[in-house]
Chain A
Amino acid sequence: MKRWIAFWNILLKDMRTYYLKPPNVSWGLVFPLAWTAMFFIRSGTGTESIPTLLPGVTAVSILFGTTSMLAVTVTFEKKTRSFERLLLAPIPLHLLMLAKTSGAIFFGVANAFVPIVMAVFLTDLSQVAWGVFFPAVFLIAVASAFLGLFIAVAVSEVFEAQTFSNFFRFPMIFLCGLFFPIDRLPVFLKPLSYALPLTYGADLLHGAVHGRHIMPFSLDLSVLGVFCVVLFTASLYNINRKWIA
């Protein structure tokens, strides 16, 4: 019970001090809106293209929302030494880091809902398999948050966190099959695609929205789950090795 009081309060504190701040709320709204508008205008078609664009815009919104926030907030707290206060608390490290990442996961999921809500009003989404779509959104948010954590632990400055995040994010967008099918990628890039967590998330979203997916849902969900566990475990290992050295 005591541990969960700590967990809940860390999450609540992060929501209040970072995620629910007006600039972040507006960024969380504007960013997905901008992506949606950009791809919609670029497609040059009518509202019927929205279901085609929805998986990509949703995934990108989650990816950028979670990784940016978490990489920056953890690095910032480490820099100002307030993170030491959390490390001194009598809660297991994994629970502490779950509390720190939960805010980013919620933020990522909330980001995902901006294009979804827009799409609901603009087009017919009756064919969407929501039972696959929502778990996919959640798992992409978790994997992205843990990727953000992994980046935050690897660097020491806030600007490094941003740079390092982009190093992962931009290639991921173009290689994961969101906007460009994996089977049309050059042969030498295909293995790289399958080494990216977003590839499996994108496949789930594509499958859920318009039924076209290259791997079974169970495989996508399992691989995404494995990515979450590996990224989180690696982050904990790095915290133990670098921050409690």
Chain B
Amino acid sequence: MTDALIVKDMAKRFEKIDAVSGISFRVQKGELFGFLGPNGAGKTTTINMLTGLARPDTGTVRIGGIDCTDNPRAAQHLVGVVPDESNLYAELTGFDNLCFCAALYGIGKTERQTRARTLLETFGLTEAAGRKFGKYSKGMKRKLTIAAGIIHQPEILFLDEPTTGIDVASARQLRQLIADLNRGGTTIFLTTHYIEEAERLCGRIAFIVSGRIVRIDTVENLLQPLQEKHVVRITCANPLTHRRQILSETFPDLTFTVSGQGVIQVESDGIVRVGTLVRFLEDQGAEVLEARRMRPSLENIFVRITGIEAEAMRREKEKKGGEP
């Protein structure tokens, strides 16, 4: 398979902060590549450098075989960009916005109108086609922004936090559209700080923290170390942080992660005897509400590799007004 994107030792510094520190990776043609990290990790700066909106301080970028090192705008005809904020023209209608975006790529009038109508239908926006973009809901704005990003049928689509700040139903619909686009052959570079989203959509994922890529692999390979693990989550009514020591001493074969909210995560290479564990906790005065076997998730891997708690990621999500 050929490479749609090759990045080598790319770095960017803003005053005294290293926004991106010498990252290297390849994205294959037709791949849905995830770029996962918390806010401020360097995801948007990376996208800006790859799409010609920023100049890397060092490193090389090749998009579709075109060397963009000296001219960051050299491959713009090959890329589509959906920024983290919907930035279409509030005064234009949905239809006119799409036609305008197509015209920027030199597409003739009849062709751009046909493409705009098709995309509006695909994204379920036909009825809102004549309405001004400024009057759209957040979910509709995101959909139209994605449609605008693909109207010129780019070889590689950069999606920056596509589902941030929209409701659950719209986010689900958007994920479906992204997956469909990728199935249709479009290479997608997706940045997100939603771990579940990356796990659901991407074939390969890069974890970026503080401007550095700490791990790149397929979702299967990332999850592999946890596949053989048995994970049980026990939820209690009261906080249990003070019981961690006694749990580890009593059950030395098990690994306990105890949160302040009364949740204990138990990991083991063998079967976890839930009954024994629950009885022990109740004897210790804990009120056990639920004990559930967990499927190993990318979240566990992310926490393990980056040291960033999933809880912190969730808080970011809430701060941005998004839904998982």
**Pair B105/A2 contact, Cβ less than 8 Å:** yes
User: Which chain B residue lies CB-closest to A91?
Assistant: B104
Asked if B59 is an interface residue, CB under 8 A from chain A, the answer is: no
B89 near A17 (CB under 8 angstroms)? Answer: yes
A-side contacts of B76, CB under 8 Å: 88-90
A1, A8, A91 — which one has the most chain B CB atoms within 10 A of its CB? A91
- Residue on B nearest A9 in the bound complex, by CB: B103
Q: Are A88 and B81 in contact (CB under 8 A)?
A: yes
Bound-complex Cα distance A84 to B101 (A): 12
Give the chain B neighbours of A90 by CB distance below 8 A. Answer: 73, 76-77, 104-106
Number of A-B contacts (CB under 8 A): 68
Residues on A with C-beta less than 8 A from B88 are 82, 85
What is the interface size of chain A, counting residues whose CB is below 8 A from a CB of the partner?
A: 24
Q: Are B87 and A89 in contact (CB under 8 A)?
A: no
Of the four ranges (under 10, 10 to 19, 20 to 34, 35 or more), the interface on chain B belongs to 20 to 34
Once A17-B92, A84-B83 are accepted as A-B contacts, the answer to whether A244 and B55 lie under 8 Å apart by CB is yes
**B275 contacts the other chain (Cβ, under 8 Å)?**
no
The answer, among B52, B92, B104, for a CB contact under 8 Å with A6, is B104
Q: Is the CB of B104 within 8 A of A89?
A: yes
The yes or no answer to A10 lying at the interface (CB within 8 A) is yes
Separation of A84 and B84 alpha carbons in the complex (Å): 12
Interface residues of A in 22-53 (CB under 8 A from B): none
Q: Say if the beta carbon of A117 comes within 8 Å of chain B.
A: no
Q: Kindly state whether residue B252 has any CB partner on chain A within 8 Å.
A: no
Q: A245 within 8 Å of B by Cβ? A: yes
Closest CB in chain B relative to A190 CB, distance in Å: 43
A84-B87, A89-B104 known, 5 other contacts, Cβ within 8 Å? A6-B106, A13-B92, A85-B104, A90-B76, A244-B72
Chosen A-B contacts, 7 in total, with CB atoms closer than 8 Å, are A1-B106, A6-B103, A6-B105, A8-B103, A13-B89, A13-B92, A88-B52
